[in-house]
């Protein structure tokens, strides 16, 4: 991943925090822009065209959750949410708003830079395998991180892609919500588990033709989720 070509937009109303993050990101080779309010964040998003957004939860104008929701309506850009709140429910809400990761204040700037790199790597498929998976018109290229359904490209967030890939690479295996969180984030807090349901719902809205009777991502009631088991060995293609 070439950090020099990546633009990071920091949205925080505390100049000291912005300056601290900016210094570490620029030292790591990133270009950095900033905004201090919700409305300004949307303007800077359109004009600065960042590769990733570091978004504070508490902002003047309207908060980071609203910024994330509005951006998610038109872009799958990776978002890392910053929050000074310690309540786990606030973190859950942040993930449900469309954020790909969260960092609680106070935080280590070095850790934040590592999170930025990891999220960008995940978004670009830096850790993906050279494999294509296919099932009933749904094709997932793990190297290119492309998803095509019935010959039409599907735009997924980095987290949605990883969720689909995890399930699709293990057809028929049932994952609990905590197992999914642990696999994708290394998080096992039980109160975070309901955020998985939100991401499953969003994923289904993009790949399922009938939300009441999904054919790809199936619910195993009382347990978790699984990807449909192929009917024959040709349902999945690797190469």
pLDDT (tens digit per residue) in 170-181: 888 899 888 888
Q: Which of 180, 50, 28 is nearest to 111 (CA)?
A: 28
Q: For position 219, which CATH number holds? A: 1.10.10.10
The CATH number linked to 97 is: 3.40.50.2300
In this structure, the answer to whether residues 190 and 222 fall within a common structural domain is yes
- Domain match, 99 and 142 both: no
Q: Which domain holds residue 117?
A: 3-124
| Whether residue 143 sits in one domain with residue 48 | no
HEC readout, 68-99:
HHHHHCCCCCCEEEEECCCCHHHHHHHHHCCC
Treating both helix axes as pointing N-terminal to C-terminal, what angle do 64-72 and 38-48 enclose, rounded to 10 degrees? Answer: 40
Q: Say if residue 113 is in the same domain as residue 189.
A: no
Verify that 38 and 109 share a domain, yes or no: yes
Residues 86 and 152 reside in one and the same domain:
no
Distance CA 173, CA 238 (A): 18
Digit-coded pLDDT (tens) for 71-81: 988 898 999 98
51, 138: one domain? no
Query: Exposure of 122 by Cβ count < 10 A (0-12 exposed, 13-18 middle, 19+ buried)?
Result: buried
Which DSSP category does 148 fall into? Answer: E
Domain count for the chain: 2
Contacts of residue 150, Cβ cutoff 8 Å, sequence gap at least 6: 137
pLDDT tens track for 93-125 = 666 677 888 787 888 888 888 889 888 887 776
Domain boundary among the residues 67, 102, 124 is at 124
Edge-to-edge strand list for the sheet holding 175-176: 175-176, 224-227, 217-220
Same domain, 116 and 7: yes
């Amino acid at each position: 991943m070439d950090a020099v070509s990546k633009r990071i937009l920091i949205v925080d109303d505390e100049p000291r925090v912005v300056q601290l993050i900016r210094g570490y990101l620029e030292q790591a080779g990133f270009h950095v822009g900033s905004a201090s309010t919700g409305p300004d964040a949307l303007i800077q998003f359109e004009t600065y065209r960042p590769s990733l957004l570091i978004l504070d939860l508490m902002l003047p104008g309207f908060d980071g959750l609203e910024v994330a929701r509005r951006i998610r309506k038109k872009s799958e850009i990776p978002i890392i949410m910053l929050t000074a709140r310690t309540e786990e429910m606030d973190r859950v809400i942040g993930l449900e708003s469309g954020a790909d990761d969260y960092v609680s204040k106070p935080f280590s700037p070095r850790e934040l830079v590592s999170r930025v790199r990891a999220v960008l790597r995940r978004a670009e498929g830096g850790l993906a395998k050279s494999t294509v998976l296919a099932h009933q018109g749904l094709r997932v290229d793990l190297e290119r991180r492309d998803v095509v359904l019935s010959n039409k490209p599907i735009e997924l967030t980095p987290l949605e892609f990883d969720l689909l890939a995890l399930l699709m690479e293990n057809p028929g295996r049932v994952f609990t919500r905590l197992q999914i969180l642990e696999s994708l984030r290394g998080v096992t807090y039980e109160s975070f588990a309901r955020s998985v349901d939100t991401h499953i719902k969003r994923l289904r809205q993009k790949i399922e033709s009938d939300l009441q009777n999904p054919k790809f991502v199936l619910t195993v009631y009382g347990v978790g989720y699984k990807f449909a088991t192929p009917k024959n060995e040709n349902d999945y293609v690797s190469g």
